[in-house]
Amino acid sequence: MKGPLHGIVVVDLTHVLAGPYASMSLGDLGARVIKVERPGIGDDTRAFPPFREETSAYFMTINRGKESIALDLKSADDRAIFEKLLARADVLLENYRPGVMDRLGYGWESLHERYPRLIYGAVSGFGRTGPDSLRPAYDMVVQARGGVMSITGEVGGEPVRVGASIGDIVAGIFLCEGIVAALYARERTGEGALVDVAMLDSQFAILEHAIAITNETGVPPGPMGARHPSITPFESFHASDGMFIIAAGNDALYAKLCHAIGRPKLISDPRFLTNQLRCDNHELLKREIERITLGETVGYWVDLLVEAGVPSSPIHTVRQAMSDPQLRARKMHVEVASESGKPFAGAGNPIKMSINPDSSYAPKAPHLDEHRAQILEWLDAG
């Protein structure tokens, strides 16, 4: 079986994470991804730890299944090769600061005129427009400026970066979404399109409850630990041997929770009759629940609550998540091929489709310039 994007050729100039995450996702859906890298250096993440025999595990997992060719876009010979690639490509991805590609002669307007079917995907810190479009950015910068850090961390504590690089990854997801939409539009119009995704925009776009709360109350929310600001009880609770999650998202689930822990009187307690009252009195309710939960283990409560139909979970380490049977069953733990024989571990494709092959194994990431000969042969054959 070939994926839904089989036959689509992506020329990928991006490096580090946001762009490579998007091209990885397009590759997982069947596209051919040709990674164009700087001669002698390649993608910055080739130098990111952890290493196995001088090979970056970080690079290997994000760039699995791609091809690599090293080109200097200021060299006449390499520019000729690059332009042959553009003539055969469906998608070009780049994550330079706005203006860099124009100075190289490969800006959107120029390429659209020469290759009208080419889809141009650009991801940058602040996008191609606006007063700060030329500023550099990294994940932490956009998490901070976009508001995400202000609501992350413990109550009363300092703002904290989200542990995963969501500034890059969310932008990569939106870029992939935009590319797929542009491919669909091209089927109707025959025209390529510019897809302009900003990391900052992407962070602001995921502040669903925080924007609503700020707009309606005039008071921006601060860090709340694990607690949801609009639903109670919906946070972490202590057991005798650790912490776990209870997510009772409505009145019916709250009633099931109260029955399951042997406190049915909490259902009719006037302090907790509605979700709004439970939010207003969340500290009181947490104390009432933890009087019970501290008496048994995490495993005991999670099993009991799940059996009662109440969403609940232990708080897994990454190691525990990597061996989670549900994630394993969904083929979300993939072994990325390695020349040493011992595979690298990566996350699988979360988009499950009847028309896309799904496997627990992924092809290896390329060495720098590994596929030059076969790419040149393919270009000459075309």
Give the whole-angstrom CA distance, residue 310 versus residue 257.
6
Q: Phi and psi of 156, rounded to 5°?
A: 80, -5
Is 316 tagged catalytic? no
The answer to whether the predicted template modeling score (pTM) of the entire model surpasses 0.75 is: yes
Any idea how long the chain is? 382
Find the catalytic residue in 15, 112, 209, 228.
228
Compute the half-sphere exposure of residue 88: CA atoms within 13 Å on the CB side of its CA. Answer: 19
Asked if omega into 233 is within 30° of 0 (cis), the reply is yes
What DSSP designation does 154 have?
Answer: S
What is the set of domains in the chain, with CATH numbers?
Answer: 9-206+327-381 (3.40.50.10540), 234-316 (3.30.1540.10)
Give the whole-angstrom CA distance, residue 112 versus residue 192.
7
User: What are the pLDDT tens digits along the chain (382 aa)?
Assistant: 799 999 999 999 999 999 999 999 999 999 999 999 999 999 999 999 999 988 999 999 999 999 999 999 999 999 999 999 999 999 999 999 899 999 999 999 999 999 999 999 999 999 999 999 999 999 999 999 999 999 999 999 999 999 999 999 999 999 999 999 999 999 999 999 999 999 999 999 999 899 999 999 999 999 989 999 999 999 999 999 999 999 999 999 999 999 999 999 999 999 999 999 999 999 999 999 999 999 999 999 999 999 999 999 999 999 999 999 999 999 999 999 998 889 999 999 999 999 999 999 999 999 999 999 999 999 998 7
DSSP 265-324: HHHH-TTSSSHHHHHHTHHHHHHHHHHHHTTS-HHHHHHHHHHTT--EEE---HHHHHT-
Asked if omega into 325 is within 30° of 0 (cis), the reply is no
Give the whole-angstrom CA distance, residue 196 versus residue 124.
8
**Quick check: 311 and 249 in contact, CB under 8 A?**
yes
